[in-house]
Structure 1
Amino acid sequence: MLMLLLTFAFIGRAQQQQVNDVELTALFSPVNEIYFTFEAPADRPTLDALSRIISVDNVHDGRVFAYANRAEFEKFLKYNYTWSLLPHPGSLITNPRMLDRVDVKNITAWDFYPTYDAYIQMMNDYAANYPSICNIVEFGTSVQNRKLLAAHITSSVNSQKPEFLYTSSIHGDELTGYILMLRLIDYLLTNYGSIPRVTQLVDNINIYINPLANPDGTYKGGNNTVNGAIRANANYVDMNRNYYDPAAGPHPDGNAWQKETIAFMNFAENHHFVMSANFHGGAEVMNYPWDTWSRASADANWWELVSNEFADTAQTYSPGGYFDDFGTGVTNGYAWYTITGGRQDYMNYFQQCREVTIEISNTKTPPASQLPNFWNYNYRSLLNYMEQVTYGISGIVTDSITGQPVRAQVFVKNHDIDSSMVFSSQTDGQYYRLIKGGIWTLQVSAPGYVTKTLSNVSTADYNKTILNVQLCPLGVFAGFTASSTQINAGQNVSFTDKSVGGPTNWLWNFTGANPSQSTVKNPANIVYAEEGVYDVTLVASNTTYTDTEEKWNYILVGEQYLMPEGNINTCGGMFYDDGGPNHPYTPNSQKVVTFTSPDTEKQMRVTFSEFNINTDCDKERLEIYNGDNLSAPLIGSWCGNDSPGGVISSNDTRSLTIRFIASDATPQSGWKATLLCDTGVGTTELFIDDITVGPNPVSGMLMVNNLPQNSRIELTDANGRRLLTAEKLSGSASLNTTSLSSGLYFIHISSDLVNTVRKIIVK
């Protein structure tokens, strides 16, 4: 009760900059997120700096409105601004109309919010009711394992068509777009074949609609209500500050990529999205790139065209005063306020996808009775925006000799900057360049091909220009893919040649595999018997040219982690720097990974058996944090040959977060470590259970894995005769059994932590 009274005491009055720990605890209980306001700084650099600390939501009439978790707010307090706490937007809708069962074939009024279960049911019902034009894609799950879904809507007409994405509510308390996207799915499916415009869209676009990007934030108050929704995800991370930023780098917010962020990035990587939009609330405006840079994007004129089309149409079909922020309902992101780590800039810069942010309603979660109005205001604009993906310049890039599709860069000379070029698809060679009407010069290039320049390419707004391109091969460029790059011991891999330039000869080398070499174009059933990290090399040639493609650490057998980024749940495996066991790590880089024990009874342990990085700790170091992000307590920082040894977590998330900062100095050999889940007691039993010996029976190399530090191995025969002794082992060890006679043998494994015997059969 004291905390509740303290929290209400903050609302409605200005606060001085200092807040004591008791007040902070009250302020951020039970939800670690607040909404507040303060006077906007007089200078832009200060506002930009604050935007990198807290989640700025709006800058309006000389005031900043923002969200923060406790750690972010404590940083904000150091700026000594007078601030006022505001009611959290997610708490303002006190009794929302919720439906826990929705008959999608008989919705008479869209004046409700679905419960989480009803949302899942609605999506599945759409796929079941319209199987010829709709399927539901589950492309990931949230931190709390709620589903991330997209409705894929398209017909079998026209196999080559651009991919388009609508996504809403990355901020969990901004929900107008959530309902509009569900209704748009319904509108497209129910009117296909009867409304010509809808039929044209479904026939000519691969449409993906993700109504709810942050289900944990939306259903923070429970699966049956949107009251209590929050902006951030379950980890209290604003996911619209969590993406790789073109200016601020991979982790501009200081947090590891969230589970949802990784799912969306993988979703984008696995598709060729040409155009997209993400829906927000709290304002009424089209916000186009860039958010992170003050300079204009290459296609600012095109953005003005499509943004004004959306805003003008919405204004035409709504009461006066709707969608007219900034006068026109259109703004450049940076002109409003800057953010780093935004999804919009990530999609534009790294995915070459034209994505815009659409702030669809001033009220973040309006009363359900108002939701039909927002549909009536906006559905024509939604269709207009989708249609824009069918315009511009498009075509197919192919190899002039083989006719096969080529992944090529399509660059508009004297126009493209900041990654505004586009690429053709490796699968079908199709490219799409959305651009303002005009006369352009295109430069099409690809590795292994002569660059082609195409002048006087004419385009007009609301029209399509078809331009197919053939590229002439230049030399031989080796390349290949694998059927799988992460397998278990004993499984096989098939390789596919992707070389260009007309090779006629192939020489493959597979380290650690059987066979270890091949001369066929597409070798199949290459077996990897032992756990480890392996390179693959291809030499492709013809009578004139030869080229070599070597992929380090390409095949991972067993659980092998090469300084990945993101969040990983595991109770076993080997952990290396990103160079793996045989190659140097990447210099001048920074990576963050969080390892979490999935066993609620055990903590995460990382035991380093090898450690060698550069000795300048100021520029290069390995940091380990006791928690699931970089805000957790720092356990320690290591450099040179000062190994961390064994490190175990001691926190409620059962996590260790590891950051490696590599300098631009020559890389050293890196590290090798073992991952385990550990109770912290009974360690001997844990290590015994985790030691693996195999294969068994064995006829070649025998691997002993997950050895604790300073282990000793003795190999004896059935009569007790000692045949081999090895000491000071850790991690993994290998024994060559080819010289042994067939029969029964024993391996004795001992250390300060274990004493165990394993039987093996030599064939």
Structure 2
Amino acid sequence: MFVFTLCLWFWFWLSSVHGLEFRYHNSVEMEQYLKDIHETYPDITHLHSIGQSVEGRELWVLILGQHPREHRTGIPEFKYVGNMHGNEVVSRVLLLQLIDYLTSRYLSDPLVTRLLNSSRVHILPSMNPDGFESSARDCIYTVGRYNKNGVDLNRNFPDAFAGNTEQEREKEVRAVMDWLKTESFVLSANLHGGAVVASYPYDNSNGGSELQKGYSMSPDDDVFIQLANTYSYSHSEMHNGKGCYGSPDFTNGITNGYYWYPLQGGMQDYNYVWAQCLELTLEISCCKFPPESQLPGLWEANKPALLAYIQQVHLGVKGVVTDSYGMPAVNAVVEVAGRKNLCPFRTDHNGEYYRLLLPGNYTITVTYAGHNTLRQTIQVPYGPDTFSALTHNFFLQKSDYSSKATQLPPSCTTANLGVPQSDSATLLPSVFTTLTLLLLQTLLLS
């Protein structure tokens, strides 16, 4: 036993000393690395493809956590997406390094251990592998930016302000949209290059009430600013706000997306509006394709920020909404007073909800067909310090009269939603499981 323990310790020491090499791994090498990681750490990782690129390359996602293969109630889902623009390659390198860091330090590093025990982390190192393979090693220009069809993937998502929900989607975009339907992501970031700044929604506007002095303000603007500041101030330089190549400076290293420049069909707005997932766009290097000698320094600058940002998934409140029969209330509308979202936040197929909120008092209203509207005021503490948002469950009572759930805008009930509809076949396993548990409980108590 002593010899085994000594060998294990020596192997961990070798892994920490001789980690993943700082260089640009091509798509074949990246795939092999992800498979090796999963084989080495099968208990805390799960590897799967969410689809393919135009040229047929797999879009690999590695999931890390204490229970990587399935969602557990109360454990929030987090994701990082890299290399959306094929020639912005630092994100691809940093996300592979992050995977190496998290797996090699689990159970030995307290922060890493608590992060993976309290959340489920999904990492897509390359959303545009075709673009990467065709990229030129250049800091400024666009060779390799687009996918094989010549489309900018960050202009191809449905846009709530442009009304382009029926537009044709690229394979890589459709894969991400389908991915969002399978997981109830709470927090996310997509990593880019060409600037050093944390950008937050909205990226677009149609001149409505959200547009204020050139700033397109979302209902959760305060939370987005907190998230952006968390990354910026955890980064070694971003908070200094210095622009790149003559671009303007950014106060505190953050910016509202629209205020920087309007963008139609962006991924972060789609995540927020349709998938109930708060997402930032993180610009992490002035040079899009820097020399490999600069990669270790870029990793050290971003590492604490990447970790701190994951921890922000524990902001606010979470819980389960159950109906009058004790069953999960699927697609119940959960609204926070003073935050009128374009698409109301709803419970998922487990009856769960997650709401990222800063510390304070909030009035939450839950609406569900056939049940009395429930309104409660709760006090929300700062959750990241304890690696858990406040847990607050809602128990609904059946209404004596015919009542309907909050009417959703037509655009929120299309196939583009990030939350499965209540009549979806994907709900059946969860409902069956709940009924089985209730039956067993009744038998045990009888």
**Structure-to-structure mapping, 1:251-400, within 5 angstroms:** 256-293=168-205, 294=211, 295-315=216-236, 325-400=249-324
Rounded Cα–Cα distance in structure 1 between residues aligned with 2:340 and 2:275:
15
Deviation at 1:109, TM superposition (A): 6.2
Give the equivalent residue in structure 2 for 1:426: 349
**Looking at both structures, which has the greater relative contact order when contacts are Cα pairs under 8 Å and sequence separation is at least 6?**
2
| Pair 119,306 (structure 1): closer, same or farther in 2 beyond 3 Å | same
Q: 2:273–2:341: 8 Å Cα contact kept in structure 1? A: no
Whole-angstrom distance in 2 between the partners of 1:386 and 1:112: 24
Q: Deviations over 1:370-409 (max 9, x none)?
A: 0110110111111111001112111111123234454322
The correspondence of residues 734-749 of structure 1 with structure 2, limited to 5 A, is: none
Kindly report which structure 2 residues correspond to 1:468-487, keeping only aligned pairs within 5 A, or say none: 468-474=393-399, 480-482=423-425
Count, aligned residues: 379
CA distance in 1, matches of 2:394, 2:20: 49
SS in 1 for 2:93: helix
| Rounded Cα–Cα distance in structure 2 between residues aligned with 1:286 and 1:483 | 35
- CA distance in 2 between counterparts of 1:411 and 1:481 reads 23
1:196 aligns with 2:120: no
319 and 125 in structure 1: CA distance in 2 versus 1, 3 angstrom threshold: farther
Report the equivalent of 1:631: none
Q: Aligned pair in 2 of structure 1 residues 498, 378: CA closer, same or farther (>3 Å)?
A: closer
Check conservation: 2:239, 2:252, Cα contact below 8 A: no
Would the aligned equivalents of 1:283 and 1:363 in 2 still touch at CA under 8 Å?
yes
Work out whether residues 317 and 391 of structure 2, in 8 Å CA contact, stay in contact via their aligned partners in 1. Answer: yes
Alpha-carbon distance in 1 for matches of 2:379, 2:397: 20
Aligned to 2:72: 159
Contact 2:334–2:367 (CA<8 Å) still a contact in 1? yes
2:109 is aligned with 1:169: no
**CA distance in structure 1 between the aligned counterparts of 2:109 and 2:152, rounded to whole angstroms:** 39
Kindly, what percent of the aligned residue pairs are identical? 34
Structure 2 counterparts to residues 462-611 of structure 1, below 5 A: 462=384, 464-474=389-399, 480-482=423-425
Contact in 2 for aligned 1:413/1:442 (Cα 8 Å)? yes
Classify the secondary structure of the residue corresponding to 2:310. Answer: helix
TM-score between the two structures when normalised by the length of structure 2: 0.78
**Other-structure match for 1:446:** 368
Name 1:704's counterpart in structure 2: none
The amino acid that maps onto 1:283 is A
Matched, 1:215 2:129: yes
Q: Distance in 2 between matches of 1:364 and 1:480?
A: 44
Residues 164 and 386 in structure 1, CA contact (< 8 A), matched pair in contact too: yes
Give yes or no for contact 1:240–1:343 (8 Å, CA) kept in 2.
Answer: yes
1:222-264 per-position Cα deviation (integer Å, ceiling 9, x unaligned):
9xxxx99511100000010000001112369xx6200111000
Normalized per residue, the structure richer in helix is: 2
Per-residue CA distance 1:427-479 (angstroms, 9 max, x = gap): 2x2211001222111001122322100124444474632211111234699x7
- Tell me which residue corresponds to 1:244: 158
How far apart, in 2, do the equivalents of 1:176 and 1:424 lie? Answer: 36
Kept after mapping to 2: 8 A contact 1:287/1:333: yes
The answer for the alignment partner of 2:119 in structure 1 is: 205
Structure 2 equivalent of residue 53 of structure 1: none
CA 1:439–1:369 in structure 2 vs 1: closer, same or farther (change >3 Å)?
A: same
Q: Partners in 1 of 2:96 and 2:256 — Cα distance? A: 28
Q: Which residues of 2 match residues 4-19 of structure 1 at below 5 A? A: none
Q: Distance in 2 between matches of 1:418 and 1:320?
A: 31
Which residue of structure 1 aligns with residue 29 of structure 2?
A: 118
Cα contact 2:131–2:145 (8 A) shared by 1: yes
Q: Distance in 2 between matches of 1:168 and 1:414?
A: 33
Change (3 A) 1:376 1:438: same
In structure 1, how many angstroms separate the alpha carbons of the residues matched to 2:39 and 2:355?
A: 35
8 Å Cα contact 1:110/1:372 also seen in 2: no
CA 146–181 in structure 1, closer or farther in 2 if over 3 Å, else same: same
Q: Does the CA-based 8 Å contact 1:318-1:377 persist in structure 2?
A: no
Structure 1 residue 415: Cα displacement: 2.5
Q: Distance in 2 between matches of 1:318 and 1:202?
A: 27
**Which residue of structure 1 lines up, in the alignment, with residue 52 of structure 2?**
141
Aligned partners of 1:216 and 1:316: how far apart in 2?
31
Greater Rg, structure 1 or structure 2?
A: 1
Q: Give the residue type in structure 2 aligned to 1:159.
A: R
**2: distance between equivalents of 1:203 and 1:229?**
40
Q: How much does 1:321 deviate?
A: 5.2
Secondary structure at 2:251's aligned position in 1?
coil
Q: Tell me: CA distance 1:430–1:318, structure 2 relative to 1, closer, same or farther (3 Å).
A: closer
Matches within 5 A, 1:717-728: none
> How far off is 1:425 after superposition?
1.9
State the alpha-carbon separation in 1 of the partners of residues 268 and 261 from structure 2. 14
Partners in 2 of 1:122 and 1:177 — Cα distance?
16
Which range moved further: 431-440 or 402-411?
Answer: 402-411
- The Cα shift of 1:315 comes to 3.0
**Equivalent position SS for 2:287:** coil
Cα 1:267/1:451, change in 2 over 3 Å: same
Mind listing any 5+ residue stretches in structure 2 that lack a counterpart? Answer: 1-13, 206-210, 405-421, 436-446
Which AA in structure 2 matches 1:471? L
Contact 1:315 1:322 in 2 (8 A): no
Change (3 A) 1:329 1:483: closer
1:640-689 Cα deviation digits (max 9, x unpaired): xxxxxxxxxxxxxxxxxxxxxxxxxxxxxxxxxxxxxxxxxxxxxxxxxx
8 Å CA contact 1:218, 1:229 repeated in 2: no
Cα 1:108–1:142 shift into 2, 3 Å: same
Cα distance change of structure 1 residues 140 and 276 upon mapping to structure 2, 3 Å threshold: same
User: Given residue 72 of structure 2, which amino acid in structure 1 is its aligned partner?
Assistant: S
Contact 1:181 1:209 in 2 (8 A): yes
- Whole-angstrom CA distance in 2 between matches of 1:395 and 1:337: 37
Q: How far apart, in 1, do the equivalents of 2:287 and 2:188 lie?
A: 23
Aligned partner of 2:410 in structure 1 is none
RMSD over aligned CA atoms reads 3.1
Q: Alpha carbons of 1:318 and 1:404: their partners in 2 closer, same or farther (altered >3 Å)?
A: closer
SS of the residue corresponding to residue 287 of structure 1 reads strand
Deviation at 1:306, TM superposition (A): 1.9
- Look up the equivalent residue of 1:145 and give its one-letter code: G
SS at match of 1:315: coil
TM-score (norm: length of structure 1): 0.46
Map Cα deviations across residues 278-304 of structure 1 (whole Å, 9 max, x no partner).
001000000000000233111111211
Between the aligned partners of 1:107 and 1:344, the Cα distance in structure 2 is 35
